[in-house]
Amino acid sequence: MSGSTTRKIAALSVAALFTAGCLSEGGGGGGGGGGGGDTSDGEVEILGAFGGAEGEAFEASLVDFEEESGIDVTYVPSTDFTTEISARVTGNNAPDIAIFPQPGLLLDIASTSDMAPLEDVVDIDALKETLVPGLAESTELDGSTYGVPMRMAVKSVVWTPAPEFADAGYAAPTSTSELTELADTIRDSGTAPWCIGIESGPAIGWVATDWIEEYVLRVGGEDFYNDWARHEVPFNDPIVVEAAETFAEIAFTEGNVFGGRDSIASSGFGNAGNPMFEDPPQCFMHRQANFITTGDFFPAEVTADLDNQVSVFQLPPVDGGAAEGNSVLLGGDWATIFNAEDEEVVEVLEFLASDQFGGPWAQIGGWLSPHTTFDDSQYLDETTRAIAGFAVDSDTVGVDGSDQMPGEVGAGSFWRGMTAWISGQQDLQSVLDDIENTWPED
């Protein structure tokens, strides 16, 4: 989910706009292209997909910058970002800066408008020296970069109830075989090792796609994963079958999941892990991104004392997999510019893209910097620092594959297919073949 998944649904409709050619060559307020000279007026508008407490934390992270620069930054949260950004670009009324929750949507707009490559306005090579690898690359099109990461989400996190996990003598596994041995030990003790839930209203299935992506990355390696996410290899490649079967060993083995396989599709993603905080725990492991500590997903008493209530480990490598070392699956938010002629807009973008952005948000919680050089002492707790370290220290990095895919696949047939498979309505090979057949032709 990581701030983006529930907004994927609207992405399905934007493809029709692009196909119909509604995004004109002259798109964008200010266009993003060349010509006209500096248009600075002391004000910069940013459109984004997050509001509420996240929007307030974002604005708090801009206060010092606004005071020092003299630039008045207005943040506009959108409850229907995909539709709004598409309409505004189409209507020649693009914001100065937009923050996209999906690189695929950003690239769809870049490919159908005159959005300026960011190499024209910022030093992308210098940024990449401190960014977690893969994040900027996920917004590359025909050799140019169109987005810079403003926030990172780490998905490859396995949560455990810290006191009970330690008291039982369990230890974090370092390989998939060790993970299987741990699950067997927990199951043999009479408790389900895992809690898993994928129910998410109209967005049901996204949790399952994350699981599949985790194992495509580990089994196939980084290059294969990136090729797969961009359909340079078939969606139903044998490596994807192996990845899904690796997940199935976790989710479909009798006694492995609290409530059984039949409960997975009906258990809400937000509180699926909470049985591990019962006395005694009803499960001992739950894989979910770092966002799960925000809002009211985990019990309040857990999030208020995170370091003492939970322990975390990184989903381990697959024995014999092609990935090098530890692997991490990431999501995030990417900023781009539609008014490249405005020097103040460029200045704001450079700040958002820097390792100096985000301190106040980090101190509030729920935000991770995409930079390896960010001062992690600003994070609220050791748990958050450890999770950020999973990304910084990993050898193999993949960006959420469904976020990079066309909406009709990444937020459509992929979600539906995984739900049908997990629910026992359809076999794995048929599901993967069906998803492959839904991929739009170039």
Res 57: pLDDT: 95
pTM of the model: 0.91
Q: Is the dihedral of CA 367, 372, 375, 376 positive or negative?
A: positive
CA-CA distance, 249 to 251, in Å (whole number)? 6
Whole-number Cα distances in Å, 219 to 45, 182, 325: 43, 20, 12
pLDDT at 40: 76
* Closest among 11, 437, 405 to 203, alpha carbons compared: 11
The pLDDT score that the predictor gives to residue 37 is: 62
pLDDT of residue 5: 47
Nearest CA-CA partner of 28 in 112, 101, 90: 90
The conformation of residue 381, written as its DSSP 8-state character, comes to S
Task: State how far the alpha carbon of 403 is from the alpha carbons of 6, 11, 144, 200, 381, in Å.
Answer: 11, 10, 19, 17, 29
Please report the pLDDT score of residue 24 as a whole number. 32
Max CA distance (Å), the chain: 71
CA torsion, points 148, 151, 156, 157, in degrees to nearest 10? 170
Q: Contact 313/77 with Cβ under 8 angstroms?
A: no
- Taking CA atoms, 159 is separated from 67, 115, 169, 286, 357, in Å, by 40, 40, 16, 5, 28
C-beta neighbour count of 143 within 10 angstroms:
7
Residue-level pLDDT at 105: 93
Residue 99 · residue 150 · CB < 8 Å: yes
Q: Which residue has the tokens 């690189």?
A: 103
Alpha helices, DSSP H, located in 189-328: 206-229, 238-251, 261-264, 300-303, 306-309
Residue where the block lists tokens 């099109």: 141
Q: Domain extents for the chain?
A: 43-153+331-398, 157-328+401-437
Token output for 163: 């006191």
Q: How far apart are CA 340 and CA 33, in angstroms?
A: 7
Q: Among 3.40.190.10, 3.40.50.2000, 3.40.50.970, 3.40.50.850, what is the CATH number of 157-328+401-437?
A: 3.40.190.10
Tokens representing 338? 């539609």
**pLDDT by 10s per residue, the chain, length 442:** 444 444 444 444 443 333 333 333 333 344 444 445 677 789 999 999 999 999 999 999 999 999 999 999 999 999 999 999 999 999 999 999 999 999 999 999 999 888 999 999 999 999 999 999 999 999 999 999 999 999 999 999 999 999 999 999 999 999 999 999 999 999 999 999 999 999 999 999 999 999 999 999 999 999 999 999 999 999 999 999 999 999 999 999 999 999 999 999 999 999 999 999 999 999 999 999 999 999 899 999 999 999 999 999 999 999 999 999 999 999 999 999 999 999 999 999 999 999 999 999 999 998 999 999 999 999 999 999 999 999 999 999 999 999 999 999 999 999 999 999 999 999 999 999 999 999 998 7
For Cα atoms 185, 190, 193, give the angle at the middle one, nearest 5 degrees. Answer: 55
**Alpha carbon 269 to chain centroid, angstroms:** 15
As a whole number of angstroms, the distance between CA 37 and CA 217 comes to 45
By C-alpha distance, which of 222, 161, 216, 154 is closest to 1? 154
Closest to 198 (Cα-Cα) out of 251, 242, 150, 148: 251
Query: Any bridge partners for residue 32, and if so which?
Result: none
CATH tag for 43-153+331-398 (out of 3.40.190.10, 3.40.50.720, 2.60.40.10, 3.40.50.2300): 3.40.190.10
| Cα 429 to Cα 435: distance, rounded to the nearest angstrom | 10
Provide the pLDDT for residue 41: 86
